[in-house]
Amino acid sequence: MRSSSVFLVGAAVFGQSSAHYMFGRLILDNKWTNTWEYVRQISPGSGIIGDPISLLQPNIEPKSTDIVCGRNATLAWNKPKTASIVAGSRVGFGAGEAKLDGTMDRARVYHPGYLSAWLSKSPTDDLNAYKGDGDWFKILSVTGRTEQSIDFADPYFKPYGDALKRKWGAFYVDSWNFTIPATTPPGKYLLRIEHIFPNTQDSQFYPNCAHVDILPPSSTPAAVGIPGPLVKIPGVYVRGQPDVYFDKYNLDLDIDKWVPPKPEVWKG
């Protein structure tokens, strides 16, 4: 394990930015909420409480419960607020990074890869106690470019967007917004975002979970759907599966034909 003093030297050399990121801020009613206000706090990879930079250390073990909501976030020990969201409305997550003084700053999704969002209904009203070991369904899948992607023709972004990275829709964004399906059954849910940086050996998983209370749309009677397909996390990915473990710097990767890992998105 690397010592924190070695790490601080490295951080000083490379400045305060890091190649990693997390999604600690929920975007609610078009406003960026504070880091960990609605999102479960995660623990530093070094295990040293208060070590800000290793907070961002990626998860590489698909069998670990750390890939549910992030490292050591199976339970919500920071007891975040629960966001009320009407089904059919828009939410988002903002990316963050830790600075050496422990405060948080905006960050970008510095790696190319696959972005998705998920919901899992808590069996009780107490979201703090829900381990995320129930059923999950996917509500967002971002592969190639969309209208939210960075415009790499913009001179400000041009230096960051090489041809192999910029084809990924979520590459280098600082946030992503999406809609909660209008027919999502009302209730208390974990709302999970996940970015995967594919690698041939250790793909990196960047998951975070917000606490949300999904309310029925005001139109009555509101239609209620049956979400699916349902999966478990961990369990949804296995080491070596070809749509998670591959060389993302492959020139031949045709992102428009690339099929992301299962499950498919539930559209409501």
Ligand X SMILES: *[C@@H]1O[C@H](CO)[C@@H](O)[C@H](O)[C@H]1NC(C)=O
Footprint on this chain of ligand X (rule: CB under 6 A): 27, 30, 43, 47, 49, 72, 75, 77, 92, 148, 173, 175-177
- By CB under 5 A, the residues from 118 to 147 that bind Cu ion are none
Output 115 or 196, the one with its CB closest to ligand X: 115
- Strand 82-86 versus strand 204-215 pairing type: parallel
Smallest distance from the beta carbon of 60 to Cu ion, in angstroms?
10
Nearest approach in angstroms of CB 34 to ligand X is 14
- For residues 88 and 198, which CB has a smaller minimum distance to Cu ion in the complex? 198
The size of the chain, in residues, is: 268
- Closest approach, Cβ 115 to ligand X, in A, equals 11
Question: Which C-beta is closer to ligand X: that of 32 or that of 246?
Answer: 32
Can residue 19 be called a binding residue for Cu ion (CB under 5 A)? yes
Which of Cu ion, ligand X, none lies near 20, with the C-beta cut-off 5 to 8 A by kind?
Cu ion
At residue 119, what is the residue type?
L
Least CB distance to ligand X at residue 240 (A): 29
Report the distance separating Cα 248 and Cα 43, nearest Å: 28
Q: Which two tokens stand for residue 32?
A: 């960026």
Q: Which does 19 bind (CB under 5 to 8 A by kind): Cu ion, ligand X, none?
A: Cu ion
CB 24, CB 31: distance < 8 Å: no
Nearer to ligand X by Cβ, of 172 and 245: the residue is 172
The angle formed by the CA atoms of residues 74, 124 and 217, to the nearest 5 degrees, is: 105
- 5 CB contacts (<8 Å, ≥6 apart)? none
- The residue nearest ligand X at its CB is 43
- Smallest distance, ligand X to C-beta of residue 27, A: 5
Q: Which of 11, 20, 95, 132 binds Cu ion (CB under 5 A)?
A: 20
* Site of interaction with Cu ion (CB under 5 A): 19-20
